[in-house]
Amino acid sequence: NAGVIQTPRHKVTGKGQEATLWCEPISGHSAVFWYRQTIVQGLEFLTYFRNQAPIDDSGMPKERFSAQMPNQSHSTLKIQSTQPQDSAVYLCASSLGGKNTGQLYFGEGSKLTVL
Amino acid sequence: GDSVTQKQGQVTLSEDDFLFINCTYSTTTYPTLFWYVQYPGQGPQLLLKVTTANNKGISRGFEATYDKGTTSFHLQKASVQESDSAVYFCALNTGANTGKLTFGHGTILRVHP
């Protein structure tokens, strides 16, 4: 059982460049979440999908952030025109849902550094 | 909106000390409450959860009681080990079957041998 896989583990971009982060959820999990972690803000919810459909993107900065889940084994988080304040660890998590709602399995995260 | 407060940013203990990490929450609904633990270089992982008020969750020697009266969910352990050093997050889930969690800011636990 591989767990949630996130790539890349580390990414460095220049200000204004685009960054795409990938997530492979645990097979059979119906829900996929994206969170952002920083020292100042802690763990912030960004968005989530259930059965590949977008359900709640209330935490996503509207202008430059987007997330997709084109199939059940793959989700992406794209940040356009990256800014230094986007530097963070981006965490993907998946969940079985149902009675296990809230039991999230997190990946190791993708650390984004914007210079 | 929902919120979770962890007053302690860091707790430093020696092995075999008693652990107490403070957590209080605010919500207008009936939450499920969680403690997650994050080790260096890893994502958070579930430590324990409690779905019903006045119940206690127990896992790996840690315990927490869902106290609806004081809106608290403090984490305790009778005797900590150096391997317990990590960041501990209190969280709640109020979205019906969404799994969307609101996390506290986290408490860093350092245990010296």
Contacts of B100 in chain A (CB under 8 A): 33, 45, 48, 56
pLDDT over 60 (residue B52): yes
Strand partners, A94: A32, A105
Q: Which of B43, B102, B103 sits opposite A109 (nearest CB)?
A: B43
pLDDT over 90 (residue B54): no
**Predicted local confidence at residue B51, as pLDDT:** 87
- A to B CB pairs, distance under 8 Å: 61
Q: Which of A103, A105, A110 to mutate to test the interface with B (most CBs of B within 10 A)?
A: A103
**Average pLDDT in chain A:** 93
For the stretch A2-44, pLDDT in tens is: 899 999 999 999 999 999 999 999 999 999 999 999 999 999 9
B68 or B78: which leads in pLDDT: B78
CB atoms within 10 A of CB A58: 10
Q: How confident is the model at residue A70 (pLDDT cuts 50, 70, 90)?
A: very high
In terms of DSSP bridges, do strands A110-114 and A10-13 run parallel, antiparallel, or are they unpaired? parallel
Contacts of A102 in chain B (CB under 8 A): 32, 34, 49, 91, 93, 99, 101
Q: Please tell me if residue B46 touches chain A, with a CB cutoff of 8 Å.
A: yes
Please indicate whether, in this complex, the C-beta atoms of A93 and B43 are within 8 angstroms of each other: yes
Is the Cα torsion angle B31, B2, A44, B63 positive or negative in sign? negative
**Predicted local confidence at residue B1, as pLDDT:** 84
Chain centre to alpha carbon of residue A63:
16
Q: Is B99 left (phi over 0), alpha (psi -120 to 50) or beta?
A: left
